[in-house]
Structure 1
Amino acid sequence: MRASRACRGDFSGASVRAKPRRTGCVRSRRARRRGSLGESDMKQIRCAAWALMLLFAAGARAQDCAGARAGNDPGCARASAARAAHWESRWGAFALDETAGLGAASGERSKPSAERAAMAACKRKGGRKCALMLSFADQCGALIAADKGSSVAVSPTAQAATELGLSICRRGGLSGCRPYHAQCSPAQWVE
């Protein structure tokens, strides 16, 4: 005979084949049904626990704007982030009238704005035939006058722009090349 499953086997007698005495660990089916939980009971408890967790989780809500309606309410729109500090380009321009002189502009926010300002400055000096000579951004410009004509140049510094302009004037075959005007329009740090 096989020994039945028990917590402790208490064999009385010398024979190995003797039936073990029950010590209270092994229970009958009826006792199991009454006092302990079976496998199906545990499944029911787990399902009930999951249902409760889902039920309580359904009540969680995300925070909305205080007192605002949900949805496409413009009062609930997020404020735009502050713009980071950055460099902004600044424009300069030269306009020349051979009889009245030069109109110059610098520090303008756009190329058209710089060109309009240079033309207006030229006309304020009495120019009637003002011609736009040069537009530049974040650099320096130089106007070089010659006996018959002129040349322009752009470079990071006023001195470099003047030297480049003189070189261009001489290579162009013009005589009497001399610096007439140099002006810078550097980029501006905006916060």
Structure 2
Amino acid sequence: MCGIAGIVYADPHRPLERDLLERMGTVIAHRGPDAGTFHAKPGIGLASRRLRIIDVAGGDQPIYNEDRTKAVVLNGEIYNFLELRRELEAKGHHFRTRSDTEAIVHAYEEYGVRCVERLRGMYAFALWDETQRRLVLARDRVGKKPLYYTEDLERFCFASELKALLQDPARKRAIDLEALDGYFSFG
């Protein structure tokens, strides 16, 4: 089990609230006791808590593409990552780790958001594309790995657990009855 969290501000120049990102990562530390790492820049922050299983030595996250314009954090496992890796290497992509997470960033470079159509596994991931200033959040087809989010006019926050989102003092702590109805109706 791993955990991910992050913040994206509407203003790309807004300084990251690093203490908020660290609190979000700390409160989900039980999901990944082996490593806690961050991607922090103005306007964007990603947090990862990792339980090291695949590529124990080299797979700490975020994982970046070659020019570090794309970063990904993953909760889960990509079962067909070796097949994807071979396919992407044949197309000219260079891998620096043996991690299943790295297959996501290169698949995104090759196929865009449709990369999820090629992924087999149980996962929730967040990929930040700096060049397009785009956050891609995705889950596997059955939603095995949790992913929650909240947004307002200033920022978008996401995490593997609700309690990470509640670290933000700006979050309203009230039950949204319409959302609750949707949750119980559709899961």
Both proteins in one fold, TM over 0.5: no
Give the alignment's TM-score, normalised by structure 2: 0.28
Task: Report the structure number with the largest CA radius of gyration.
Answer: 1
Q: TM-score by structure 1 length?
A: 0.28
Higher relative contact order (CA 8 A, sep 6+): 2
